[in-house]
Structure 1
């Protein structure tokens, strides 16, 4: 048993005790020390080092990792039910292929999420009461979860939009509200709301509580015509592909004959935000921080930078189509949102051309990329949910989402190990402020779970990493692959332990290079090797150290994409041939054995999320169009703004 003196000495030397041997000391989630038994159950570091901070208690609770995995398992089950449904869904949906059907269903879930946000019941004052009296259906959790995994946009939206302030207030009532509600609800596959909750949900959202039942009755999306402001009902699915959930969405206003498209809805929402007068006290009182444009208010170190946000908006208001009337030296009355939209012909390319000399290209791309349709969210939530599907599948393939998979304390070791590696990942972030780091699957699980704490995640990042850490929801595949290679090297340089433990060589690595790292026993003053390298008897940990590639997207029409992709494929092919030849020399001739490494998981080169890109009619050269899960040939990209981070996904 380690004495208190020994623990204090280890902490003072900044070398937390290693785990892997009997008699080491672990720190429980309550912050109290416990002693590992003599049955060789590993202990864990007594402190978690992030930059200059030594934490006695980890930022993420292992029980919350388990709650999160249970939720992912419920998501996988829900998707299976939607894709396997026969007569339970509308006939138009039944004609869709499974992936397209799921995309349609997610679109309905986003509508239900928005209705819920506008009617959140704040009466329950703690997670336990909320779980039993006001918890939403599983499909709403699906969207809420994906939204929070875009922490920068989520925090920005919650501070800017009054309609989202109740959601922000809800999350602020507890240290980890989202996760604590999950903990109280238990198995999300067996979510059984009370009759009172079912009735209240129906009154709040005008849809049934059960997601599949709601999918049968939600046939139209309610819109407001930008021109005459009359209500318009658009069918989600049309035989000619012009439904609201489809790529070629078009509906004609019956009152004024204005042809409504998703681009026009997005432009009108942009001009509506732009038309809010910053100098009007009445407007500021009514809209609060909503008078500023999205993606302009927050920086990596400040939650609010009103002066900068004001400058961006004022610059856009000097552009002729948006400029207020009056003398050039004295701003006159603001143009209306409708007048601004008409001045640019309801066309994003005209907007881009008009503002390109007034604001930085990256700034313009960030702002315009927050507009997708009529909704207030700066994240295109259908695409966000679909991108998370890859991660959900991988957790399921590892069997980590199975009920009671980690019930045995010895099996729970895998989650403790993932948690330790996540804290080391944060430490690496703190030492590499300008680097783009790519997590492995196990680290990404802990990272996602931490993000689900909402305000606490923001506070923790600011306190320990010294900046707000965003989770980039979409990254070009070749960039992600190269960044993962650099992350592996940076990790080894800092911790003297191999980042990816599965045994698959990295692109460009020889077998000798791989072997030299595996036999290295050097330690690190931050985390000893034993705390970061998984025990060899846990193959599921080896699989979990593969790169987390759910945010990898292919953007085939970008100018540099083809050359980069071809170079990457050649690199991958050389790697495959080299390793396969080596395996054959060692008597492993089966390609299947090579691909699966003996553990049943894919090789460690990245595969992008299968999204195909359609045009948004203007913001070319950036990831900001309507992703199309059906027609890979639709649309295209022009040159212009780069770095835009919005992706829309429709049938």
Structure 2
């Protein structure tokens, strides 16, 4: 299988080849819902080679093509030119990733450590067939470690920039009806003009902001809480991004821009030029500490038998730990998460700053004002604020102090919340109903329960000031960038026609979400490019989705792999029923299997199956011949996660998972027979993904990324969520309840731990991470997205490791 990572020589060879590009005009997303048949992808669309193939069969003059881009100066709905500019940014990020991963010796992490090192791979991975391949497997983990550390530093640099911006922080009183335009009118104010050539960001920081914006509700919440209206309204500055990236995908800005960045943030322009020491305050005693970014470095010529491994205990490593010399408290990531919770509680008590997760209405994702009077006093969304103010305030503040032993974790916070929710008397007191008889049971609103989970989700495996762990988000988005790089529409002579087509297809996708607000809809890769591009103009995306669906449609950052496959099957069938065209224009075994699942035996027998006709026209038209399995836009594959279940939960969900697997197998056999009758043969099921030079076996396009390494990543393993009552990062008992939140699967950080709760496809709550609140539809993901964890991939570290 071709490598996703080109050698320097091959990249240079590709850069030298050029030709003209034809670029006709097209419609934008507003017209995407038409029932008129979309033009088929042409041979030119798929002619561009993958990253390690020979040069494109029809060369493209990128300089001439890019010169013709017409990009809006203000945030707007996606069009072909904006999608091309987005692809250009993804290519620049991919090039940056390659440069970092392949820089031997960066942070004293040398390739020579692969020699003689044992490698542990995921259970489904076959043993490397030779010593050379074994070495390549270790090298892939070494290169991944460099990139993971780089991403950790990039997130911290983004945080430094974010903290340097002038803010007008939100207060609870601002959310009252008619109180202040900075809350309910935030999404409607036209505060453009945030970006200039002088305040452009380094590429690594821009990459983090890109991932932040691709979690639309989280980005909106963070911007509202900090009063960053101009940033949210302006979105991604496409003309400036386009200008900064050349045809070799190098990112260039002026020296004045670099100097302004350094003066504003105190950080170097280049990530790798920043110090290897991280300065922070002890959360317990406020002493200044200097901690290493990584403890994984080792001199190239070091011959000692003891090696530090690739997990490490530095701030940017997988198992950060540091003992404060002043108060002796042990600081680790769990402790930092609690410190964040305590700080936010202090801000709530001190100057009425609402807790994260209580700013947007969970059912709509909108900033909806709190009504006046008695109704507002028990408004469900703000229940977490009242719970802390009236019951938990002292217990939370006292969690952290100099030398505290044992150090608190989010388990302790969850226990406090569970104790409060478990007492009907306490819940009534929180909502000011003490005058009523204690014998009358008071049922907490489902929306209040969802709001508790959303609040808690902001802290599990997340000690940043943001609503989610941006390090994990960057890793998952990297999967999508890899796939765009591999399909390589950017070098196709028909690139603009392709973009016009996928923008219209995206419009249809939104129509399906609007028609099925309680279902998760999963995009194909082409649809997802347009969807992502739209989200990078937050104000335009907000206006579009709220008008079309009545909700601010979220983009699920994590979704269980089994739920993903089930939702993709639904989306595919619905699309083909509505528009009479194949949804996933791909000929891989999985897409053939999904199409076979749509055809009923009775309908086929009677010759009245519309799905059969759609599938056959895909081949009869010749379109299928232009959609090879390794270069086609099938299921979007960047944020599937695996659910680590407790034993109790696994007993409940195992039967359902087995049923799903058997059903998929039966449909595959149906697809094989159908293809044989037509004289076709399905491609092999075995797929391999080249990750940093080693080919990892992938048993399906929708699975979580088996090639990532558990424990390597500084916040948490972004390819996993937890499932089962009492498990790490699951919700507090008493906070289960969907509350009308469409697509709000609740697994992962802040997710629901009770078996059978909240409506996951696998019998519990193992859907999107980040609590509940999916928001009207959009699950997006597939065989990529995170790393390791229990039951997953193999690690590389510890004593005697790398």
Q: Establish whether TM, by shorter chain, passes 0.5.
A: yes
In the alignment, is residue 389 of structure 1 matched against residue 478 of structure 2? Answer: yes
Q: Secondary structure at the match of 1:275?
A: helix
Unaligned 5+ residue runs, structure 1? 1-10, 22-56, 285-290, 325-333, 523-528, 597-601, 626-638
* Counterpart among 571, 593, 596 of residue 506 in structure 1: 593
* Counterpart among 540, 553, 557 of residue 645 in structure 2: 557
Q: Secondary structure at the match of 2:347?
A: coil
Q: Secondary structure at the match of 1:554?
A: strand
Q: Secondary structure at the match of 1:322?
A: helix
Deviations 1:92-134 (A, max 9, x none): 7985612222111110111111112233599xx9999945322
| Cα distance change on mapping 1:540 and 1:186 into 2, 3 Å | farther
Distance 2:259 2:574 in 1: 54
Distance 2:537 2:483 in 1: 23
| Cα distance change on mapping 1:534 and 1:292 into 2, 3 Å | farther
| Cα distance change on mapping 1:347 and 1:618 into 2, 3 Å | farther
Q: Is the 8 A contact 1:127 1:177 kept in 2?
A: no
Relative contact order: is structure 1 or structure 2 higher (C-alpha 8 Å, sep ≥ 6)? Answer: 2
| Cα distance change on mapping 1:341 and 1:619 into 2, 3 Å | farther
What is the correspondence of 1:65-84 to structure 2 with a 5 Å cutoff?
65-84=83-102
Distance 1:541 1:395 in 2: 14
Root-mean-square deviation (CA), in Å? Answer: 4.3
* Counterpart among 619, 629, 634 of residue 729 in structure 2: 619
What is the correspondence of 1:397-408 to structure 2 with a 5 Å cutoff?
397-400=486-489, 402=490, 405-406=491-492, 408=493
Distance 2:382 2:479 in 1: 39
1:466 maps to which residue? 550
What is the correspondence of 1:190-589 to structure 2 with a 5 Å cutoff?
190-211=250-271, 213-214=272-273, 217-238=274-295, 239=308, 241-277=312-348, 283-284=351-352, 291-299=353-361, 300-301=363-364, 302-306=366-370, 307-319=379-391, 321-323=392-394, 338=400, 346-356=408-418, 358-359=420-421, 362-371=450-459, 372-400=461-489, 402=490, 405-406=491-492, 408=493, 410-503=494-587, 504-507=591-594, 509=596, 516-517=609-610, 520=613, 539=627, 544-558=632-646, 559-560=649-650, 562-580=654-672, 583=675
In the alignment, is residue 132 of structure 1 matched against residue 197 of structure 2? Answer: yes
| Cα distance change on mapping 1:245 and 1:469 into 2, 3 Å | same
In the alignment, is residue 170 of structure 1 matched against residue 280 of structure 2? Answer: no
Deviations 1:283-315 (A, max 9, x none): 14xxxxxx1111121024331444444322112
1:39 maps to which residue? none
Distance 2:629 2:662 in 1: 29
Q: Is the 8 A contact 1:221 1:235 kept in 2?
A: yes
Q: Is the 8 A contact 2:337 2:410 kept in 1?
A: no
Unaligned 5+ residue runs, structure 2? 1-29, 41-74, 114-140, 168-189, 296-307, 371-378, 422-447, 689-697, 711-716, 732-746, 751-763, 772-784, 789-796, 798-802
| Cα distance change on mapping 1:594 and 1:220 into 2, 3 Å | closer
| Cα distance change on mapping 1:137 and 1:541 into 2, 3 Å | farther
In the alignment, is residue 115 of structure 1 matched against residue 202 of structure 2? Answer: no
Distance 1:422 1:572 in 2: 26
Q: What displacement does 1:154 show? A: 0.7
1:609 maps to which residue? 705
In the alignment, is residue 187 of structure 1 matched against residue 246 of structure 2? Answer: yes
Distance 1:455 1:103 in 2: 31
Deviations 1:373-425 (A, max 9, x none): 4421111011001111221111111112x4xx25x4x4422111101110011
| Cα distance change on mapping 1:556 and 1:573 into 2, 3 Å | farther
| Corresponding pairs, count | 545
Q: Is the 8 A contact 1:547 1:604 kept in 2?
A: no
Distance 1:642 1:507 in 2: 21
| Cα distance change on mapping 1:129 and 1:354 into 2, 3 Å | closer
Q: What displacement does 1:550 show? A: 0.9
1:633 maps to which residue? none
Q: Mean Cα displacement is larger for which, 602-611 or 258-267?
A: 602-611
| Cα distance change on mapping 1:309 and 1:489 into 2, 3 Å | same
1:41 maps to which residue? none
Q: Is the 8 A contact 1:116 1:205 kept in 2?
A: yes
TM-score using structure 2 length: 0.60
Q: What displacement does 1:643 show? A: 6.7
Distance 2:560 2:205 in 1: 28
